[in-house]
Amino acid sequence: MNTQWEVVIGLEIHAQLATKSKIFSGAATAYGAEPNTQACVISLGMPGVLPVLNEDAVRKAVVFGMAIEAEIAPYSVFARKNYFYPDLPKGYQISQFELPIVGNGHLDIEVDGETKRIGVTRAHLEEDAGKSLHENFHGSTGIDLNRAGTPLLEIVSEPDMRSAKEAVAYMRKIHDLVRYLKICDGNMQEGSFRCDANVSVRPKGQIEFGTRAEIKNINSFKFVEKAINHEVERQIEVIENGGRVVQETRLYDSDKDETRSMRSKEEANDYRYFPDPDLLPVFVSDELKAELKAALPELPEAKLLRFKTDYKLNDESATILTSSRDMADYFENVVKISGCESAICANWITGELSAALNRADLEISASPINTERFAGLVARIADDTISGKIGKQVFEFLWNGSESADEIIEAQGLRQITDTGAIEEIIDTILATNEKQAEQYRGGNEKMFGFFVGQVMKAMQGKGNPAEINKILKAKLA
């Protein structure tokens, strides 16, 4: 058979909202505490307790809705989703079902130079469950309920994506956005941002969707791509061998790079949703919307455009520099403090600094070089006090110490030598000791020029002004 298959993907992204306390109680949400020390009676659903909605979670959900140009429901309702699982001992999860707080938004992604709009069906508030721990329990499973009750925003896309690459682009876009909005820390290792991927295939040209499988709990961009591609291959193989894809929930095993069946898929009616009798409906007033709208930060796309036009940056630099709000702020501060051209600031931030941050696995907010010290470096390169090459040495000192660029340049004697007298003296000595090479150059071997530049630079320990050296050498070798 040589049917052409089309892939259809919809993502359900879970973003933990960065509130200090849980969605229905005052218990802390901080990650990494001793197991079960933050598992309060409300998160556990003990008899007689009543949940109280955390207003900050509502505000963060509304902010997200505004950023994707969605409809904000003036009235939304919490519902109980009933199921039992060891990490959900109270037997139900408080979520939103029929009336979610955010509906009908969208987001544009770029793949292979093309822009594509992805629909966001809804984004609803819910509580996270606890966590099963499999390590260090010798064949048993430990349960840590600290996470129970942490606010989640579940962001459900339309089945609009047609490749793993598009799914990754969409997931990255949402990841950038929630961090820009500072509504989620985006930490994927800690599980603050994760997704379920719904995947199906259909013969090209067919209008109806194929039966989908849902791959649960993917917590990295790399895994989402691998898991989807893997699942697509599996489904095509099933169909081409005469079988049928069954609707089910599968788990991606990153060690084996395969998905395996967890359970057959529940339908909504399996959960026996009903409105939670302990919680009032959520009202979002026009005043609250106006307040949040006014405080909305500049969004990634607007910033990218502004960086390209105002700072005249190329696509690549502008994209790197607007990849996070902290990065963008860092760049703008360096430009402001140094008073230098945006191009040289951009070069040193996307080059030397980004490489060092990557090596050290640090975010720019944790950079050992603050904007003031970094601006000091750029300024001295721009005004020719030091060459770019020496700049890299100064950068190392800045990274490993606490002095300013000026202090380092003075202490290490790195100032560029532009004094023509001094350069001439050194050139004369070198020409005198390399007469043969000088003859070769004059005889037409132009490559010899590089040899002389190298010799002079070496004699001057890299501190000679390259333009001056070139000029004087040319004259003397003529």
CB closer to ligand ADP, 12 vs 329: 12
Q: Is 34 exposed, middle or buried (0-12, 13-18, 19+ CB in 10 A)?
A: exposed
Nearer to ligand ADP, 208 or 435 (CB): 208
Q: What angle do CA 407, 413, 417 make, to 5 degrees?
A: 120
Does 146 help bind ligand ADP (rule: CB under 6 A)?
no
Applying CB under 6 A, among 89, 142, 159, 466 the residue interacting with ligand ADP is 159
Q: Is 171 in the site for ligand ADP (CB under 6 A)?
A: no
Helices and strands in the chain, H and E counts: 17, 16
How are the residues of the chain apportioned to helix, strand and coil, as percentages rounded to the nearest 5? 40, 20, 35
Q: Packing angle between helix 388-400 and helix 371-382, nearest 10 degrees?
A: 160
451 CB contacts (<8 Å, ≥6 apart)?
434, 437
First-to-final CA distance of the chain: 74
To ligand ADP, the closest distance from the beta carbon of 209 in angstroms equals 3
The verdict on 156 binding ligand ADP (CB under 6 A) reads: yes
By beta-carbon proximity to ligand ADP, the closer residue of 96 and 387 is 96
Question: In this complex, which beta carbon is closest to ligand ADP, that of residue 158 or of residue 341?
Answer: 158
| Residue 98 identity (one-letter amino acid) | E
* Residue 338 in contact with ligand ADP, rule: CB under 6 A: no
Minimum Å distance from CB 405 to ligand ADP? 51
Nearer to ligand ADP, 178 or 364 (CB): 178
CA distances from 219 to 8, 14, 122 (A): 20, 10, 21
Q: How far is the CB of 198 from ligand ADP (least distance, A)?
A: 3
Q: Is 8 in the site for ligand ADP (CB under 6 A)?
A: yes
Name which of residues 276 to 315 contact ligand ADP (CB under 6 A): none
| Binding window for ligand ADP (CB under 6 A); candidates: 9-17, 283-291, 306-314, 436-444 | 9-17
235 near ligand ADP (CB under 6 A): no
Adjacency order of strands within the sheet including 213-218: 71-72, 102-111, 114-127, 151-157, 5-16, 193-203, 213-218, 248-253, 258-264
How near is the Cβ of 416 to ligand ADP at its closest, in Å? 59
| Least gap, CB of 156 to ligand ADP (angstroms) | 5
Binding residue for ligand ADP, selected from 5, 6, 12, 460, defined by CB under 6 A? 12
CB nearer to ligand ADP: give 245 or 292: 245
**Per rule CB under 6 A, is residue 381 in the interface with ligand ADP?**
no
Q: Which is nearer to ligand ADP, 21 or 200 (CB)?
A: 200
158 versus 329: smaller Cβ distance to ligand ADP? 158
Residue nearest to ligand ADP (CB): 10
Stretch that binds ligand ADP, among 20-28, 75-83, 192-200, 294-302 (CB under 6 A): 192-200
329 near ligand ADP (CB under 6 A): no
Residue 104 has phi, psi (to 5 degrees) of 60, 60
Instruction: List C-alpha distances in Å: 224 to 176, 203, 230, 262, 279.
Output: 16, 23, 10, 17, 35
* Smallest distance, ligand ADP to C-beta of residue 170, A: 11
By the 8 A CB rule, do 356 and 399 touch? yes
The answer to whether the beta carbons of residues 340 and 378 sit under 8 Å apart is yes
147 within 8 A of 126, measured Cβ to Cβ: no
Q: How far is CA 281 from CA 66, 79, 101, 292, in A?
A: 20, 10, 10, 20
Within 10 A of 204 (CB to CB), how many other CB atoms are there? 9
Helix, strand, or coil here: 161?
A: strand
Name which position in 268, 362, 467, 475 contacts ligand ADP (CB under 6 A).
Answer: 268
How many residues line the site for ligand ADP (CB under 6 A)? Answer: 16
Q: Is 198 in the site for ligand ADP (CB under 6 A)?
A: yes
- Helix, coil or strand: residue 267: coil
Burial of 369 by CB count in 10 Å (0-12 exposed, 13-18 middle, 19+ buried)? buried
Least Å distance between CB 119 and ligand ADP? 8
Q: Hey, which residues between 199 and 218 contact ligand ADP (CB under 6 A)?
A: 199-200, 209-210, 212
Our finding on whether 373 is near ligand ADP (CB under 6 A) is no
Report the interface residues with ligand ADP, using CB under 6 A: 8-12, 156-159, 198-200, 209-210, 212, 268
